[in-house]
Structure 1
Amino acid sequence: MSVGIDIVSIDRIKDILDKKRNSFLNKIFTVSEIQYIKEKNYSPQTIAGLFSLKESVSKAIGTGIGKVSFKDIEIYHDENGKPRVELNEKLKTFNIVSIDVTITHEREYAISFAKVEFKSDERSIQVPEELKGLLTKRNKDTHKGDYGKVLIIGGSRGMTGSVTLSSKASVRTGSGLVYTLVPEQLETIMSIKLTEEIVKLAKDNGKGHFIKESLEDILKASKDKDVLAIGPGMGNCTDNTYLIRETIKNINLPLVIDADGLNALSKDMGMLNHKKNSIVITPHPGEMARLLNKDIKEIEGNRIYYAKHISNKYDIVSVLKGNNTIVSYKDEVYINNSGNPGMAGAGSGDVLTGIITSLIGQGLKPFDAAKLGVYIHGLAGDFARKKQGEYSMIASDIVDCIGDAIGVVIDE
């Protein structure tokens, strides 16, 4: 939101009208406005109010008169006589949602006030140069198959929220098709939770979590997909390490590993040496400490070093979450500047997993997808904070704001 206030001397307008009425009116006002002024018998009070209001609107937009002209802003009145604003095509590119205006007169002055609401306050956001152009506007002649087939594997009894958030985040980020593979005991609850996503089932022998026999269904579901994410809500089941190892060894797809998938990975880091394609890991500091067998304080005190270290050692993309999330691939490092403390809550990381997975599925290289993903994630969190506040925002609020964040990135 932005406001603009202006005050104009009515005597000044009288003086101008006495000297050069027609040239002044034609320079400042549109044909419709001049007609309204004529109906008011060229009242200096009326003209001063309209003149002042154009100034207020230009200030609230952030340009002032100069970058835009007086005639770019047209004042009209509704059936109740209340002033309203119509902007020309040039100013409609400013992503303005609404303009509220008032005019008042105080003896010798006309005073105006304008309040402009912008779509997500996009004007004030500076997208990092290295992220510009990674995501572009879509061609008109496209279909859902052009935007990636995503498979997200996760969930267990009592932990369906994580995989739901990842799946919904992938859809909201623009994936054409999102498949969610869960233990078969979760079919009913996941069919209720997910609408746009396609629910797939893995054998669980009635246990409500993945088991070794689930591997067959994982391998089958991965066929013809573009990217796979694994881990959200899987729980700490004994068979998870086996499933992660066999997934890495047997599936030739870009892979995003998060949450319980990372906990399983930490028990056998050597499985990364058998990968067939790019891998992105998204640990928070505690998970990174387990992966590297280090103390959390050691990780927190040397975030860039360890993000680069694990990336170089295993030839993977590492995303070390936290304030100023660090994305590293070999010797390249990106430090994110979007996001806020309100995102430090359950499910936020699952949303990030869904975003990164979606971007890879849409054709971005894993390192680019991770960089852009953490930025979009943080920016969506910033928009969510404006709507809900840092204390009240939840992970699903971040999902709901992904579209706002993508709009900023693409508009750049």
Structure 2
Amino acid sequence: MSNPGEADLTPITSVRQLAEWFAAGSKPRGSWKVGTEHEKFGFYREGYATPPYEPDGIRAILEGLQARGWAPINDNGHPIGLKRGTASISLEPAGQLELSGAAVEDLHATWAELQQHLREVHEVTGPMGIGFAPLGFHPLHRREQMPWMPKGRYAIMRRYMPKVGSLGLDMMLRTCTVQANLDYGDEADMVEKLRISLALQPVATALFANSPFTEGKPNGFRSMRAQVWTDTDGARTGIPAVVFEKGFGFERFAEWVLDVPMYFVMRDGRWLDAAGKSFRAFLDGQLDVLPGERATMGDFADHVTTAFTDVRLKRFLEMRGSDAGSPAMIVAQPALWAGLLYDDAAQKAAAALVRDWTVEEIRALRLAVPRDALGATIRGRRVRDVARDVVAIARDGLKARGLGEEVYLAPLDEIVASGLTQADRLLQLHARAWGGDASRALLHAEV
């Protein structure tokens, strides 16, 4: 979840204005970039407890990173994030550390950025005895063992989540993801890319599955993180059918976002609790927490960040369906999507692959892959076989870019060839080398 952004005080006068906000993200092909975000669990190497905000925990890590050129982002006097250039570091609710990387030219720059980030984190956390592990779901701790970070929006979400799903607090406290951010050329390009990426998101979920343990035991899933999202808040998550309807575009998506229940409004540096209320009422000056005040474009931009669809449209596309994993898998995520969507021939091949899939079939696959991963099926085909086609298309797309980026697909090649996800490898280690000790997963995954 992002750090709070800059407020745009422009009044909202029409839905078309909101559509134009999305349209302003359109870019010519020569300006398309790649962004990567990943999250990771902190843990003390002795005892495996999760570091608190303070003392000697997450706040100290943020302050240590400031000495390496990062500027602090504060929430009510608490440092809760960092910014350097267009990159940022933010905190998930239990202190999961998130790097939101800069928008860069190619995957080589993504890899270099990730390595620099990990070096800087090691320099700060090594003397503290703290490690970080990118896994999709925390393998050991119960929900009540996880700390809460002092971010105003999280306090609001903490109160609201149990009202709309049984696993929302687990999503906040016990999950980590890796996300790829890509550009679109115009409205038609956005529509095709969004449809392709939503249809193939369950395949990505299977490929990147990396969360087979809950509270020290195998949980029966390959991606417990993906399972958690099925019971978090149905009004703002999953695969929205509107994307596949005839006539879909920026304005239809803006209309859909307006019907997502609110979480909050930010005023004068304070988060006001508007959870469950209507943004449409806010447009009309009928929001009871700000009586008579009408929503601004800054309010809408904040509200867009509370739509948690498997692919989210902002002024770019966010691919959000994958578990966090090893550094190689972190970069394989943008490699997969850039390969599929940044070359015309590859994009056409990907569109052809999913053209006949219905929303109902895609949603059914989305429900199957948390448990079955590559063994799930769609239209009689195993996801492993679909994934083989998808990775091949992505490789061709990256080769067409001519930058040598296809090397970053290597871990996906291995998964497709072996049929074993990161989760399957962890389960094998747990049953054999680890003697049933799931705590070893943290040290094994440490980056």
TM-score category, normalised to shorter length: under 0.3
Which structure has more relative contact order (CA 8 Å, sep 6+)? It is 2
What TM-score does the superposition give when structure 2 sets the normalisation length?
A: 0.21
